[in-house]
Every structure is written in C-alpha cells, then in structure tokens.
Structure 1
C-alpha cells in the first residue's frame, strides 16, 4: 500500500501542493495527471523516498518500490543482460558465490565438506528466490520491449537514449516490485512496445503508478486517476476517459452552483439594502449580513493556462529543398542505413516512422550535418535554413542559466522584449523567466528547449520526437502549429497525433532502408480546400465511401 497524509511540498516560493492525503491499494493502477510543473514527478520522488516532504508523511507499507525516472541510470560498460541482473542483487550474489565454490571444489581448495554444505545452502536459497526462472522473466520483458536476442551482449553505452530508457524500464518490470512507479514510461516506445507494456501492466501483480501524458495508454491501464492542478490533488475513479468526463461534469455542476450562489447573494443584498434602516427588520438584516460573511464563495473554475504560438518560415526555399542519395551509415558492425534516397520538396511535411534504433534519428542527424556518412551525398537548397530539434534537446540546456538566459543564447541577438514575448507564449511570465533551468520540471525544460529552437530563423524544421515530455495541451498546440507551418518539415516520431495531424508523406525507416508508405500529389498542385494530411485524407476517403453506399 502507498499512502500520503497531509503532504505538503514547495520549491522556493512555488507551492506545489498542500494537505494532500490519499491511499493507493495493492492492486490499483493509478495515473497521475496535470500540467507540466505541477509536481507529478515530485510526488513520485516523495513516494519513493528520494525526496523528503516539507510537511506530512508519505511512503509505503510492505514490499519493494521500483521507480522509473525520466533519465536512465545504467552502468555504461555492462552488457544488457548484466544490467538486467542488477535488478536481482541477492540472486546475482549467490550465482557468483556458486561459481566460486564450484571452482574451489574443482581445484581442491578449502574444506570439501564445508564447501559442499555451503553449495547446498546456496542452491536452496537460489531456488527460494526463484532464481532458475529469472532469466526467463528477463527474456519475456526484453522481448516485449523490442530487444533482439543479439542485443543481450551489447554494452549499455552502445544503445541510443531511447533504448537506454527501455533498459531502465525492463529492469523494473523484470524485478516485479510490489509497487511500480513509472515516470513517462511510453516516451521512447514505439507502438508495438507501448501495446505490450499496456497489456503487461494490466496484469501486473502489484500497485502501478504512472505519470504520462498519453491518454490512450492510460485508458488501457489505469483504474484510478489522481489530478494535480493549482496545488490541489483530486482523485477520480475509473479510466482516463472517465476522468475527463467526470471532471467536465464536476466543473459544470460547480459553475451552476456558483451562478445559483451569485443570485442568492444578490437577493440577500437587495433585502439588506431595502430594509437596512427599518427598525422592525433590523434583526433579519443583521442575520443575513452575518450569513453572507460566513458564506464560502464559490470561485470560477480555474482553467490551466495553455501554450499558444504560431510558426512561420523565415523565407521561401527553392522547390527542391533536400536531396539525399545513396546514404549509408554503420556504427561498428551494426549497419543502420543502406542506400537511402530521399527527395524533399518545399511544403512537404515528412514523417519518419519505425522502431527505435531503426535509423530515424541517424537519418535526421546526417541530413542536418551533425553526423558524417560513409557513403552518399546530401544536397540542400541554397536558400534552405534548416533547424534541428534533438529528442534530448532539453538535456543540452545549461542547468545554471536562467530561462531567459538560455533562450537568449540561441536567439541571434533578439531583444529581451521579444524573448519575453516568446517565453510568455510558452507559459513563462514575470519572474518565471529568471528561474534557473535546474529547478524546472521535465516538461518545463522541454518548453524552454522548444522556445529556444523556434525563435531561430529557419524555413526547414528537422524534429526528433518533438512531443516527448510535453503535456497534453502543449502537445496539441504544437501539432496545430506544425500543421499550419508554411515551411518544410522532416519529423521522426512515434506519436500518432503527429503523423495524423501533419504528415503529407510518411517513410518507414527499417532494415537500413527508408520506404515511402504514404504519399500525396505534389503539394503545390493541391487546392487550398483539398485534404493535405494523413488524417484529412483518411476522413475524406471515409466520407466518399459513406456517400457511395447511400
């Protein structure tokens, strides 16, 4: 069981939450939701014991806690299999001791009877720990998360950032702690791994607490939602969709009650003003005045501020924006890309899809010039001004800089009034712009990184998983802005909202090749009212089909 009792936490002058009390049962599946910076990750750290609350108590009774943070903490020179075995320290220690005892018996070292007795005891303890099935558990989890058997002996340092997060997740899932705390577990998962994880967590033999902005994933897993917003923590029963429905119903009921209260207050005040000077009504006037003073005024339901911004290309490129021919790239013995050819034209919004490690990020980095190719050519249009957003862009921020200093560094000399305007669109206003980057939440850092990127003068956007760490509202606004962007986009993403919302062309990067799996007529030949994105084309196709059946 996980619990919090009158919990309070703040950072500096920012109060995250106060007087928070809840209980999470041993079989609950809980999703924690709320805007970025409200304290979701902090709550997980408090539950896990990694932070101490300012007031109240929080913790767990009985059993182990497994905590997936947003950053992988792996031993770089360990193999994947060695890293997974770290999740079973006692069983691993017994294995090592059994190897040593076996060697000593073989070499005739030590007292044979004592060694045999120790060996017997070790085998018994190993069996109690279910040690003989550990590797099978590891295999099941690694397979579900998309690892190949050939990856088992690969060093952790050789995996990409997204795959390292899968390793960290696999360690927790294989160990099966009684309480699994997962902070953004789906950020680096493709669709297949995400579906497998949802199924695995539905049948998990313990409590699961998830922080994620992926509503579809939560709908498959959670049985309870805890919302953190404006310092208040509110529980809801049911799925994520049920939470949205109930929240809307509560807000509507609260607004009806607020309006009813306003009418009642106005009625009482009219009575008071009318009879204030009438002696026979003096007692009633005083009584009603006292009642108004005691009344708890129902405030308007507060809406979380939303990111609002528009994107505009800086200048117009030639028709042919980017031409890649015969691109090949390997890392050691691992061949990632083989003879890849891409033609990107002005106005194209290209999505690169495929499994992690398939070469999407590599292709973007080659295109922008941060990674050299072994074979092939890259030719950019003369007027192209490409900008590259890395999926780990927030990690490149200087933690000791303030928000405005960090954005200023990438602004090409823009005045502070312009920087403040941009930051205001990303919900950094007033003194927020002077906060050090190191005190920001993961989502807030992503907003800073996005603001820093978008203030640069570009007309071609190369984006690697741009919606990672963004809350739902910011993600929606970003997709809308990208859909309306008048330049060219090349985006690697697992987010179906990106593909549905903006894609004019989709390429699957797999087995070293980039294969076009969705295309359209040339952008300039499409009428303004014609379907341009994957979603629009699908809806148009469904509408035509429905019309033909009538």
Structure 2
C-alpha cells in the first residue's frame, strides 16, 4: 500500500505539485497520466525513494517493485537468471548452497568443517523451500520466456545484453518479486506484440496494487481501474475512480465545467469592477467600492485557471550537410560477446538520402549493428567505412549519447559546435526546454525528456545519416506524431530500428536488413508483420 499526504515536489525552483494526497491500495490499478514534463516520472521516483520531496509524507507498506524508464546495470557480470531471482533473494541462497555443497565434497578440509557445511546446506535448503523452492525458479524462467527472454539467455551475463534485453530482464525481475505494489514506468518499451499482450493479461490479474505510466492506450484501457491526472497547470492530481474510457468522458466534462465557471466568474468580476470604478469617485462610496473590488478578486481566486493546451515538441531537421553518393558502408561486420555470437559477415551500404529499416527478433543484433556503425563499439572483424562528407547522428535507445553530468544546454552546445547560444536555446525551446530547464543535469530528466533532448542534439548536428534506435519510446502520442512527420521530411539517410509500425510507415523505407543473417531486401508488405515481432 502507498499513502501520500500533502506532497510537494520541486525540481530546482520549478513547482511540479503541492498539497497532493492519495492512496494506492491492494487491487488498485492506477494509470498515472499528464502532459510531457508534468512530473509523472519524478513522482514515481519519489514514491520509490530515489528522490526526496520538498514537503509531505509518503508511507509505503510492503515491498515496492519499481521499474524506472532507464534501467542501469550495477553488476554486468551477474547472470540473467541470478538477476531475476535476486528479486526474492534466491540468487544469494543458490550461491550459498553451491558453496556449502562444494565444501561438503572437499576432502582437503577437516571433517568438522564438512559437517558444518552439511548443516548449513540443510538450513539453506529449508529456506529455499520456504521461498518456493525450485518451483520458484521454474516460475522465473516462465516469466522470462513470456517477456521474450529465451532459456538460452538465462546464463548470459547482463553486460552482454542489448538495452532492450536488459529492460525485459528488469521487468521480469519486478514481476517475479511478487511485490505488494508495482510502479511501472513505460513497461511495454522494447516488448514485442506477443509479450505486450501477455503483460496486459498478467497485470489484469495481479493481486497487488500498481501505478502505471504508459503511452500504450490498449494497455491502460484494459488494465487500469483508476486514473490519476497530474495537472501541470494547477500542480495537483485529480483522482478518477473509474476505468480509462469513463475517465476520458468525465475529464472532458470537468474541463467544460471549469471553463463555464471561469467565464461566469469573469463576467461577474468585470461587472463588480466596473461598478466599483464608478463609485470610487464619490468619497461617500469609496469603502463600498473597495469591498466590491475585493469581492471581484475573491470570485477569480475561487475558480481554476483554464488548462493550457498540452505542449508538443516542434521538430524540423535542417538540410543535411553535403556528402558523397554513399556516405556510410559496412563490410563483413562480425560481433560476439564472449561465447555468444551476435552476427557475422554483415554488409551494408547507405546511399545519400536512403531509407533502411533493420528488423529481427529480440537479441538478433539490431542495436549492436547501430552501435558498430556509430563507432560506439568496435567489430570483431570487418570494418565500417566513412564515405566523403559523412556526418553521423546517432540516437541510442538508452540515451548513452547524453552526458548525464552535463546540463541540457551543455549537451546541446557540445552537439551544435559553433552555433550561437541564442540559436541553441531557440531550438531547445521548440523541444519544450525553457527557462531554468536548460540548466538541469541530463541525468535528472525523465525518459521522455531525455528522448526530446537526444533528438534535439540531432537537429543541431547537421547530420546526413541518422542512426535511430527506438526513437519513439517514452513519447506521448502528439510528440510522437510530430517527430515522425519530421523524420518523413528529412532529406538525409536514415537507418531505423523500431518496434513501432507507425514509425516504420512514416519512414517509408526502401530497403530492409533482417538480422542476424544481415539479409538485405527491398521493402515490401510481407515485412510489415515482422515489425512488432522484432
């Protein structure tokens, strides 16, 4: 359970919310919504204990399972299965069991130590049984499979996985935890269509409470039974104890009611003000005039401000820098992580202005290919060849291209080169970074804000080849449409990795590269069904 009382959250001098109170009880499936930058991610991080509120109290009872937008790997040598099992402490029990078993069989140590190891093994076995025994491990493996993590990956180290794979591991871990309350920030990112469908059904029957931030309309329609609307203008949360479709109707009614109340109050206040101005000229009526003005002020104070229209990032790519006919080539690229072979012999030629979509199942090497093309990683064999005039713009799904310790403005200026600061700030403003926002370090941004900043750095880069890895993740529908429109109009070349069918349609690709075999073909309708499976 989560109980929040009189919560106030600020980011620097900016107020996100104040005097906010709510509860999330067992069986509550809350959809947390609000415009970009309203503070949804900041609120979830505050509830989870990652951030401290400016005021108010947060009381959490029972375990919280928190899936943030950006997942970090604390120990890259930990195996996938151990990471999942760690949600219930089972990884440590297994480690200690293995150690005790080794000591029991070690004839080089004393009989007394072997006896102690036997007793320890028995005690740990009982503890494992209490935690669900080996059936719990089977449950973990089944959860992983449902979320697109095959058994063949379970013994791989986390450091060998793609960003999307690590994200699915973290989601599996959170679901396996059986926490009393789940906090899930964009849980469908990097999931294929089958996994998304399975997740919806799983959350529908989850016995605990949950708070979900998601731009997946089908998920919130099916899953949530309450909606918390974070109003960025009024700095409050409106609570709707109803499902998604009823919420949409009720919120529209509320907006209309507020507008009517505001209009009525403004009319009455205007009439009182006009009358007071007439009466102020007469000394005998000056006191009455002042009372009328105070009544007018109270009328306006008693109603809520009109909602501003949700802001949308405005994106337009400038003309790309001139380049040769084939600005980027890859010849015989191969990549492995330890004993895990990702792909071999990948060839690719990116012509000026071409459109290429990279498809393949999860773990097929799509992200790895883009990292090799961008020069972030080095191939085991083969080479990436930069053509005449190549200027690369790389969008990484985990936002690795951003320096978390630098401010928003510093990240932009680093990408913009000699561009004047006033122009840089103008572009940041079109991406909704204004005022003190530009001085925030990139590491404190939400996933959606990091997406906008990373895309903004591409705009100022004058790139003629864009490498885009899931660029629509974490974006609200309006910003997503704006960005897809800009990509469609971009005159340079684009290599796209995406689970988003709308993004691929907007790209209007000419060619497809299917990984891990690096099979190249002309784009056609037969490939569309592979997008959501990728």
**The two structures share one fold, judged by TM-score above 0.5:** yes
1:386 aligns with 2:388: no
Structure 1 residues 315-349: Cα deviation after superposition (integer angstroms, max 9, x where no partner): 45556555556554444443333444545444433
Larger mean CA deviation between 178-187 and 104-113 belongs to: 104-113
Aligned to 1:525: none
Q: Number of matched residues?
A: 520
Q: How does 1:122-521 map to 2 (within 5 A)?
A: 124-230=126-232, 231-240=235-244, 242-269=246-273, 291-295=295-299, 296-315=302-321, 317=323, 322=328, 324=330, 327-342=333-348, 344-373=350-379, 382-393=388-399, 395-505=400-510, 507=512, 509-516=514-521, 518-519=523-524
| Superposition TM-score, scaled by structure 2 size | 0.84
Aligned to 1:531: none
Give the Å deviation of 1:126: 3.8
3-state SS of paired residue (1:255): helix
- Return the alpha-carbon distance in structure 2 between the equivalents of residues 369 and 276 of structure 1: 74
Larger mean CA deviation between 128-137 and 229-238 belongs to: 229-238
Structure 1 residues 404-431: Cα deviation after superposition (integer angstroms, max 9, x where no partner): 2222122221111221112221222233
Aligned to 1:526: none
- Return the alpha-carbon distance in structure 2 between the equivalents of residues 159 and 518 of structure 1: 28
1:53 aligns with 2:53: yes
RMSD (CA atoms) = 3.7
Structure 1 residues 37-74: Cα deviation after superposition (integer angstroms, max 9, x where no partner): 4332332233233444332211223x221222322344
Cα pair distance change 1:256/1:357, threshold 3 Å: same
Structure 1 residues 229-258: Cα deviation after superposition (integer angstroms, max 9, x where no partner): 322222234455554444333223322332
Listed as ranges, the gaps of 5+ residues in structure 1 are 521-533, 536-550
Q: How does 1:60-75 map to 2 (within 5 A)?
A: 60-61=60-61, 63-69=62-68, 70-75=70-75
Structure 1 contact 351–503 (Cα < 8 Å) conserved: no
- Return the alpha-carbon distance in structure 1 between the equivalents of residues 415 and 382 of structure 2: 31
3-state SS of paired residue (2:87): coil
- Return the alpha-carbon distance in structure 1 between the equivalents of residues 196 and 213 of structure 2: 14
Q: How does 1:100-119 map to 2 (within 5 A)?
A: 100=100, 104=104, 109-110=111-112
Larger mean CA deviation between 80-89 and 368-377 belongs to: 368-377
3-state SS of paired residue (1:397): coil
Larger mean CA deviation between 256-265 and 453-462 belongs to: 256-265
Structure 1 contact 389–463 (Cα < 8 Å) conserved: yes
Larger mean CA deviation between 324-333 and 136-145 belongs to: 324-333
Cα pair distance change 1:73/1:226, threshold 3 Å: farther
Structure 1 contact 74–156 (Cα < 8 Å) conserved: no
- Return the alpha-carbon distance in structure 2 between the equivalents of residues 126 and 225 of structure 1: 39
Structure 1 contact 105–115 (Cα < 8 Å) conserved: no
Structure 1 contact 348–488 (Cα < 8 Å) conserved: yes
Cα pair distance change 1:252/1:409, threshold 3 Å: same
Larger mean CA deviation between 310-319 and 265-274 belongs to: 265-274
- Return the alpha-carbon distance in structure 2 between the equivalents of residues 273 and 103 of structure 1: 94
Cα pair distance change 1:234/1:149, threshold 3 Å: same
Structure 1 residues 459-486: Cα deviation after superposition (integer angstroms, max 9, x where no partner): 2211122233444443332212112212
Q: How does 1:31-42 map to 2 (within 5 A)?
A: 31-42=31-42
Structure 1 contact 398–406 (Cα < 8 Å) conserved: yes
Give the Å deviation of 1:277: 8.2
Listed as ranges, the gaps of 5+ residues in structure 2 are 530-534
| Superposition TM-score, scaled by structure 1 size | 0.82
Cα pair distance change 1:123/1:372, threshold 3 Å: closer
- Return the alpha-carbon distance in structure 1 between the equivalents of residues 445 and 22 of structure 2: 25
- Return the alpha-carbon distance in structure 2 between the equivalents of residues 31 and 506 of structure 1: 39
Give the Å deviation of 1:32: 1.9
